């Protein structure tokens, strides 16, 4: 593929709910542009952008695919992003490096949940947007119904640039609002112009007038001319659309049917003519506040937004060049890690296939293989003028699974495989919990994690089983006590002798372990006092009395006895541990559970159900905050044990319309009846 100047580059990301037709639209654009010679189908498993074995088997996209095309002497980098909530990390990374989001909405299902989630993120990024209403050839499709939904939710910036020609099975083309002409398509995608049907002229005039009103308001001088003449030239309309689109105040809407090759050419024409180039976007800003514009003569700055593992070439790093030029066959500087990397060829990817490039200019998207130290979110920059771009923050994982290798001895293979997969998918998080002694894999949902475990088996030959997840309960003392620790064994030869007296009491939550040395007169020599503390700490960590780590305890060592020959470090360690067992018997023990702050974002009609559900989970509501657009945030403190599968439960409760975030808050006492069940279960598991 030839090199294009920055002004002739368009970076678009296809977003929308799963099943809306993004991958089919990608296939259609590839075919119509001549990038491919056949039209792939999801049902046949031969699309360019869904090439992973899991994607082919399930018929859904699970990772972002790059598919550049050439259209009217422009290069359009298409990023086909997954639509399901489990893969939102891929979506957010792709939206971060795009200059325009194409929202694909099904004309049958209408506006769906993940479309709204992506729209909110686009608003946060200030990302220009267009909408492609797809599947208008299907039964029960309705452009009017879908348009009303779009305007109700996203406002009056929604501006149709095309209308459907025919309905459902009779859908055969589009009516251009700008050109006031009708265009029909045959089965090959060939276009023929025809007169606008009489029964559509009134609707066309209504929509066209509304469009002219919207675009005229982008410029005072243009508005004055429009008010005088009642009309605008085509160039004026396109120029104003460009301004409104770049400023994210106008959101053009196109209609079509991707699998029938209808309408997508009109959208591509508009993306080239009115869509933002990298030069239209704000200068990129570093973490330190420095800025650079998308110009080749600026020092290099590029952001790695995706990493994959290719069986033939190894690690492949996808990057967006924000300034300067990135050339192959040399050295580049990773300014995030402050280390140089050797780079071979640079190339673009079309699905899984490479196309070599001479260079990647400002505004373009490319890839390089075998960057040893570089991971997703890193900045590649000019070593003489380094800058670090804000990294790509992965979404917070919402579902934990405890896992173990099926085959004993595969622990190292499991860890290696997981680390490689985390490099590819930063939405994963691996945790080794020292309290529960479990390996925890965190992800975005059941589908996300099950896919990862399948990939572990396929790529790294490691079979994994899910084991019951253990909540990291803790414990503390219920009251104060004087306790004795005695470890004496003197039956001839070198014996063991250590006796210690301690006072114990619980302290405020969060104070941790406090050890106080109150020994006077040498009842325990100084050399053995650390041994007592070590034994006490070991008993606390082992969960003396319950099996759960004991916290927030003060231990005061005030007396003891020693033997000049038989006392030792180990003897006083064992005495310290014995003292804590005695303390637990006398003072009693309280079970503690982790409490998390949970914030649930839902449409207001679900607020009551969410509040009731959280209370059933022993949650304490903390408030409801209106967020606008009919959405509310419900805040509560909830025991972690009650929400370990909340990611799955919330989707069921809200039909996928709810999202949540959470964070650890504190530990608090477990109610007595629940504590008994936990302790009985722990005892049964250890027996």
Domain assignment present for residue 206? The answer is: no
C-alpha dist (Å) from residue 493 to 489, 565, 566, 644, 645:
10, 10, 9, 55, 58
- Of the residues 467, 487, 504, the one at which a domain ends: 467
pLDDT digits (tens, 9 = 90+) for 94-125: 999 999 999 999 999 998 888 988 998 999 99
Angle ∠(164,169,172) on CA atoms, nearest 5: 40
Q: Are residues 602 and 564 in the same domain?
A: no
How many Å apart are CA 230 and CA 50, to the nearest integer?
48
Does position 311 have pLDDT exceeding 70, yes or no?
Answer: no
For the segment 474-511, what is each residue's pLDDT rounded down to a tens digit?
A: 999 999 999 999 999 977 667 899 999 999 999 999 99
Distance separating alpha carbons of residues 27 and 23, to the nearest angstrom: 6
CA distances from 295 to 277, 321, 332 (A): 12, 10, 18
CA dihedral sign, ordered 635, 639, 642, 647: positive
Asked if 118 and 148 sit in the same domain, the reply is yes
What pLDDT does residue 288 have?
83
Comparing 19 with 641, which gets the higher pLDDT? 641
- Burial group, residue 289, by CB count within 10 angstroms (0-12, 13-18, 19+): exposed
User: Could you tell me if 294 and 275 lie in one domain?
Assistant: no
Q: For residue 46, what are its two tokens?
A: 């031969």
- Is the same domain home to 10 and 142? yes
pLDDT over 90 at 302, yes or no: yes
Average pLDDT on 611-636 reads 91
Q: Which of 246, 206, 209, 202 is nearest to 227 (CA)?
A: 209
Residue appearing with tokens 């159900």: 609
Task: Print the domain residue range for 559.
Answer: 475-587
Spatial separation of the C-alpha atoms in residues 9 and 77, rounded to whole Å: 8
State the pLDDT confidence band at 685, using cuts at 50, 70 and 90.
Answer: confident
Q: Burial, 564: exposed, middle or buried (Cβ in 10 Å; 0-12, 13-18, 19+)? A: exposed
| Residue 208, domain member (yes or no) | no
- Provide the number of structural domains found in the chain: 5
Q: What is the pLDDT of residues 234-282, one digit of tens each?
A: 998 999 999 999 999 999 999 999 999 999 999 999 999 999 999 999 9
Let me know the angle formed at the C-alpha of 235 by 227 and 296, rounded to the nearest 5 degrees.
130
- Same domain for 270 and 332? no
Asked if 295 and 375 sit in the same domain, the reply is yes
* 496, 579: one domain: yes
Percent of the chain past pLDDT 90, that is, above it, reads 76
| Whether residues 52 and 183 fall in one domain | yes
Residue 228 located in a structural domain? no
Confidence at residue 518, expressed as pLDDT on a 0 to 100 scale: 95
Confidence check: pLDDT of 295 > 80: yes
241, part of any domain: no
Residue 646: both structure tokens together: 């909340």
In degrees rounded to 5, what are phi and psi of residue 137?
A: -90, -5
Helices 198-216/234-246 angle, 10° precision: 60
H-helix or E-strand containing 506?
strand 496-506
Given 280, 302, 330, the domain boundary residue is: 280
Residue 221 lies in a domain: no
- Could you report the per-residue pLDDT of 351-410, keeping only the tens digit for each? 888 999 999 999 999 999 999 999 999 999 999 999 999 999 899 999 999 999 999 888
CATH number for the domain spanning 612: value is 3.30.70.240
CATH number, residue 531: 3.30.230.10
Residue 448's domain is classified under what CATH number? 3.30.70.870
Same structural domain, 95 and 172: yes
Sheet holding 100-106: strands in order across? 65-71, 74-80, 9-15, 100-106, 129-134, 251-255, 158-160
CB count, 10 Å around CB of 423? 17
Q: Which residues pair with 175 in a beta bridge?
A: 163, 182
Determine the Cα–Cα distance for residues 446 and 456; give it in Å rounded to an integer.
15
215 inside domain:
no
Q: DSSP class of residue 195?
A: P
If asked whether residues 28 and 162 sit together in one domain, one would say: yes
Any domain includes 18: yes
The pTM for the full model equals: 0.87
Mean pLDDT of 39-58: 82
Q: pLDDT, tens digit, for every residue of 562-602? A: 999 899 999 999 999 999 999 999 999 999 999 999 999 99
pLDDT at 312 > cutoff 80: no
Which residue do the tokens 């189908």 mark? 41
Q: How confident is the model at residue 686 (pLDDT cuts 50, 70, 90)?
A: low
Q: Does residue 629 carry a pLDDT above 80?
A: no
Considering the domain architecture, whether residues 23 and 149 belong to the same structural domain is answered as yes
CATH of the domain at 91: 3.40.50.300
User: Strand, helix or coil at 243?
Assistant: helix
Q: What residue ranges in 587-675 does DSSP mark as E strands?
A: 589-603, 620-628, 631-639, 659-669
Q: Are residues 141 and 33 in the same domain?
A: yes
CB atoms within 10 A of CB 258: 24
Q: Which residues of 368-407 are buried (b: 16+ CB within 10 A; e: fewer)?
A: bbebeebbbbbbbbbeebbbbbebbebbebbbbbbbebee
φ, ψ at 60 (rounded to 5°): -135, 155
Is 351 inside any structural domain? yes
Six-digit token pair at 245? 């689109």
Q: What is the spatial distance between Cα 427 and Cα 91, in angstroms, rounded to a whole number?
A: 11
The pLDDT value given to residue 582: 96
């Amino acid at each position: 593929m030839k090199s294009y100047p920055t002004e002739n580059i368009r970076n678009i990301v296809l977003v929308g709910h799963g099943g809306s037709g993004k991958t089919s639209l990608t296939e259609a654009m590839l075919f119509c542009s001549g990038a491919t010679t056949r039209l792939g189908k999801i049902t046949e498993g031969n699309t360019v952008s869904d090439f992973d074995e899991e994607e082919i088997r399930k018929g859904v996209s699970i990772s972002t695919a790059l598919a550049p095309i050439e259209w009217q002497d422009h290069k359009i980098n298409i990023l086909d992003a997954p639509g399901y909530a489990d893969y939102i990390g891929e979506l957010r990374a792709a939206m971060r490096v795009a200059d325009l989001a194409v929202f694909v909405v099904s004309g049958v299902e209408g506006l769906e949940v993940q479309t709204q989630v992506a729209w909110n993120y686009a608003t946060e990024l200030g990302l220009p947007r267009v909408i492609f209403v797809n599947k208008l050839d299907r039964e029960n499709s309705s452009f009017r119904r879908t348009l009303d939904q779009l305007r109700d939710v996203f406002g009056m910036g929604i501006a149709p640039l095309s209308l459907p020609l025919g309905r459902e099975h009779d859908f055969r083309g589009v009516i251009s609002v700008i050109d006031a002409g009708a265009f029909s398509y045959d089965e090959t995608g060939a276009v023929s112009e025809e007169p606008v049907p009489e029964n559509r002229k009134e609707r066309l005039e209504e929509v066209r007038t509304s469009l002219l009103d919207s675009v005229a308001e982008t410029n005072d001088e243009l508005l004055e001319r429009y008010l005088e003449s009642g009309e605008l030239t085509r160039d004026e309309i396109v120029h104003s659309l460009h301004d409104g689109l770049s400023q994210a105040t106008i959101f053009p809407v196109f209609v079509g049917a991707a699998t029938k090759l209808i309408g997508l050419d009109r959208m591509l024409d508009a993306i080239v003519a009115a869509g933002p180039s990298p030069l239209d976007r704000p200068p990129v800003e570093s973490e330190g506040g420095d800025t650079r514009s998308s110009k080749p003569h600026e020092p290099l700055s590029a952001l790695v937004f995706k990493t994959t593992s290719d069986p033939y070439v190894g690690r492949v790093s996808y990057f967006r060049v924000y300034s300067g030029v990135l050339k192959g066959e040399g050295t580049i500087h990773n300014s995030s890690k402050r280390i140089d990397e050797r780079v071979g060829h640079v190339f673009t990817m079309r699905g899984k296939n490479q196309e070599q490039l001479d260079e990647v200019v400002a505004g373009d998207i490319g890839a390089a293989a075998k960057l040893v130290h570089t991971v997703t979110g890193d900045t590649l920059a000019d070593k003489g003028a380094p800058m670090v771009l804000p990294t790509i923050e992965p979404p917070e994982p919402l579902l934990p699974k405890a896992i173990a290798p099926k085959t004993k001895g595969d622990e190292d293979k499991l860890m290696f495989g997981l680390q490689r997969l985390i490099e590819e998918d930063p939405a994963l998080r691996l945790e080794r919990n020292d309290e529960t002694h479990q390996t925890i894999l965190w992800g975005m949902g059941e589908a996300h994690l099950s896919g990862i475990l399948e990939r572990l088996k396929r790529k790294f030959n490691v079979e994994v089983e899910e084991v019951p997840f253990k909540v990291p309960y803790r414990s503390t003392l219920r009251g104060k006590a004087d306790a004795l620790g005695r470890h004496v064994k003197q039956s001839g030869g070198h014996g063991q002798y250590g006796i210690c007296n301690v006072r114990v009491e619980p302290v405020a939550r969060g104070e941790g372990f406090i050890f106080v040395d109150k020994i006077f007169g040498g009842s325990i020599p100084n050399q053995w006092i650390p041994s007592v503390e070590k034994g006490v700490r070991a008993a606390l960590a082992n969960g003396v009395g319950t099996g759960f780590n004991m916290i927030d305890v003060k231990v005061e060592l005030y007396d003891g006895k020693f033997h000049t020959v038989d006392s030792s470090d180990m003897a006083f360690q064992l005495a310290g541990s014995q003292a804590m067992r005695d303390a637990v018997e006398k003072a009693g023990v309280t079970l503690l559970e982790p409490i998390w702050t949970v914030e649930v974002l839902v449409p207001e009609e679900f607020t009551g159900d969410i509040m009731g559900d959280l209370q059933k989970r022993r949650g304490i509501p903390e408030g409801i905050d209106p967020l606008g657009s009919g959405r509310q945030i419900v805040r509560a403190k909830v025991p972690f044990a009650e929400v370990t599968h909340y990611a799955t439960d919330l989707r069921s409760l809200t039909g996928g319309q709810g999202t949540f975030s959470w964070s650890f808050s504190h530990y608090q006492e477990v109610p007595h009846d629940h504590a008994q069940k936990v302790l009985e279960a722990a005892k049964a598991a250890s027996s």
